[in-house]
Every structure is written in C-alpha cells, then in structure tokens.
Amino acid sequence: MDNLASDPRSGWEIYRSPEDRSAMYELADSYLAYLSSAKTEREAVAGVISALTSAGFTEGFGSAKAWQSLHGKALFAARRGRRPLSEGIRLISAHTDSPRLDLKQHPLIEQAGIGQAKTHYYGGLRKYQWFARPLALHGVIVRSDGTSVTVSLGESSDEPCFTIADLLPHLAHNAASPKLSEAFSAEKLNVILGHEPVLREGETDAPKDPVRMRVLQLLHEKYGIREDDLISAELEAVPAGPARYVGLDRGLVGGYGQDDRICVYTAMRALLDAADPEYTICVIFWDKEEIGSDGSTGASSRFLQYCVEDMADAWEPGTPFRRIMMNTKAISGDVHAGVDPDWQDRHELKNSAFLGKGVAFCKFTGSRGKYGANDAHPEYLGWMRGVLDAKGIPWQMAELGKVDVGGGGTVALFLAAYGMDVVDAGPALIGMHSPFELSSVPDIYAAKLAYQAFFEAE
C-alpha cells in the first residue's frame, strides 16, 4: 500500500548528492547573475540573445540554431529537430516583463524643493511596497533624429539611486484609517530625482523650478537629452541592487522580476542544454503579460505565428502553419503562488504549491469557476507526468489559492488557441509581484530539468 497515496517529494531530498547539489548551485549562481542584470524586458531579452549567440545561435533561420526578436522585448528561438515540422514542435513560453513604475511622458516636476519624476505603474503591484526603498532607472530614450541612449542608473554603489519617500508615522495619525487599497495614491508614486537647484546668476533671473532645471541640466550632461526627448522614452523605476541568496543555508533566491524571468532563464538553459532534439524545440518569450498580453510584443500578437512561418519557410517550405501548431506540445512557463507560511489561509493546502517541492503545474488558471482559463487535457497531463517521473524530477500540481479567493491568468490560453496541447508549469514564488520575490533553489533546478526533459521527450 506504500505507493498508493500521492506524495510529492522534496527537491532537497532528491538532489542530495554532492554532484546534484553542485549542479543545483551552479544553476542558481548563474540565475542570480542573470536576474541582477535583467531589470527590464529589453535587458531580459538582451541577456538571452547574448547566451544564445555564445552557444552558436544566429539571427534568422539560416542555421539550425536560430532566433528572432521583436523590438528587443519579445524573442523566439529554435533548435531544429530530426522530425519534420509537420509533426509539431516542442514549445516553452515565458514572459520578459515584470511589474514596475514607468515614468510618465512628461515626468519632471518640482515640489517643495525636491525634483521628482511622476510615474504610472505597470502591472499588478501593491503600491505601499514601492515606498522608502532604493530604486534604479532603466530604459531607453529615443531622440527625434532616431538616435537613442540606453539608461541604467542606480545599480552600483558608486552611482546615486532614487527613491519614493513615505509619510512619517508622526504625521500619519488619521482619525479614520483608510483601506490599504486607498491609502496609497498612484499620483504619490513620485520618484525623487534631485535636490540641488540651479544657482541664480544675478538677482533677476531665478528660474521658476530651479531643482527641476538642475535635473534637466544633469540629464543633458550625462545623456545629451532635452525634456522633450523624455516623450519618446521608456524609463522604468525598478528596485535597485542585485538578487541575493536568502537564509543561513542559501536555500532561497530573493530578487526583483523573478515573475517571470525565472522561467525565461530556466527555459533558455533547457534549450541550450537539451540533447540533440527529436522534435524541433523552441522558446517564445513575450512582453506585456502583466498588462493583459496586448501590444505587438504580447502573446495576443502575431509574433509567434510569423516566427514559425519564417522557420517553416526556411527549413521545410510548404509545411502548413496549422499542421505544425495542431501537433505541437507546449508548456506555458510562468511562476505559481507558493504557500506563504504567514498567509496559509489564502490557500487550500491540499491543492497548493510549496517551495522546495519541485516545478508547479497548474491544469487551469482563470478565476471564479475557471473563467478565462486554459484547461489542460488529461491525456496531456498523463503524458507529462510520465516524462517527469521517468527522470525522477520533483513536480507538484497546484491551484492559485482557494476557489473564489485566488485566481489569475497566464499566456496559456493564447497558445491553446492554436490547437496545441499546453499546460502551465513553473517554480512557485513567495511574495510574487513584490520588489523582492522569493524562489527555492531546488525548484529552479527542477524547473530547468523539467523543461529539458520536455524538450528531450519523444
């Protein structure tokens, strides 16, 4: 009777040999470096392209290891397999964008002798988490002549950082306590950029906003830009500083943007490390997932279709796109909500993901009666279980919180629309969408091995 009951195993138990531990931490070390350098969707894609290029991948489909990018924010990459494309591809998706504070197109203001940048938040975030912490600015500014500057400021200790100040407790004795969702106004998410005014040359020519003018001077000195250049810019205020190990045992990774760069990184490593593939193996990394997957670089765009059509034209002309898609097997690589030890009441613990118990599968996402869900077919789940169990990879099956409490969407339904089999699978996080999300070191390893086993499966 011992093996009749379901008993998800801990990745710590499975990966206990010195060889496994060494490989597990080699992956975690390199993931930490990637995560620390990938604070925006463009930086996430650039890091992947750099790794692909080092591994011999080329742009376009002129070789058997190829990639194609859109606006440097979305990326498709493929390794040609032995079987014809008409038998389908093996595809893993993930998303490159993360919640953050975008600078407005007219960002620069001055109030009370402080120069600030107004922001418009991107994605689902809890506003209070963004106050009183060091922030960095990352992004791109495009001048009207088409030239551009790349910005990354506030990461290293010899650079200044930025911040949003929070109200001191002494002035927060409101008689009526507002609800948390109303206590923090989006229009108060103003990033402090400076404090020094432009000094007056005489008694007559004091500029109206001297601190704002000094900020503009410094931006011009550093980047050669004028205020109007910020109209055609994408500047993102993100948590400053590198990702870190957390805990005496270094058992957790803490950092910004693990949703979903943890899946981007592990899927990329799986693509690179998979043995000569039977089927053509591909990754698609989309942008805009956190705001509904619209836009030319999001999952509802035609980018994937165009890439697969280009690939078929180059490698096997005449193969109908629909035949490739209908025979494709896919994983929607996205993070799952791990059980937070202090918020266990939000989960139904029999159907929840626990950190350390391996890659978390989710048969369906959506909310309130599975509305808006891809619902993976049982035949596909059965096949997937076989692939993972054959290699002894720890995995778990979970829902996103209690019914009618939790819920959320991923890009799985956009893949399912093509007719392919698809299921969500990725590491569980604690503190998802916060400036310091937590993942489990063995789960990172399990995710990479699970993705690789999926790529290598016949």
Interface with Mn ion (CB under 5 A): 259-260, 334
Q: Closest distance between Mn ion and the C-beta of residue 374, in Å?
A: 14
Least separation, in Å, of the C-beta of 94 and Mn ion?
A: 8
- The overall longest dimension of the chain from CA atoms, in Å, is 91
Q: Do the beta carbons of residue 382 and residue 457 sit within 8 Å?
A: no
**Cis before residue 260, ω within 30 degrees of 0?**
yes
Residue 355's closest CA among 250, 435, 441? Answer: 441
- State the nearest-atom distance from the C-beta of 452 to Mn ion, in Å: 21
Nearer to Mn ion, 79 or 100 (CB): 100
Nearest approach in angstroms of CB 372 to Mn ion is: 15
Q: C-beta of 259: minimal distance to Mn ion in Å?
A: 4
Closest to Mn ion by CB, 334 vs 443, is 334
Residue whose CB is less far from Mn ion, 123 or 197:
123
Measure Cα distances from 148 to 44, 115, 218, 226, 313 in Å: 19, 24, 17, 12, 34
- Measured from the CB atom, the residue of 194 and 401 that comes closer to Mn ion is 401
Q: Which is nearer to Mn ion, 260 or 421 (CB)?
A: 260
Choose between 161 and 411: whose C-beta lies nearer to Mn ion. Answer: 411
Residue in the shown chain whose Cβ atom is closest to Mn ion: 260
Least Å distance between CB 48 and Mn ion? 16
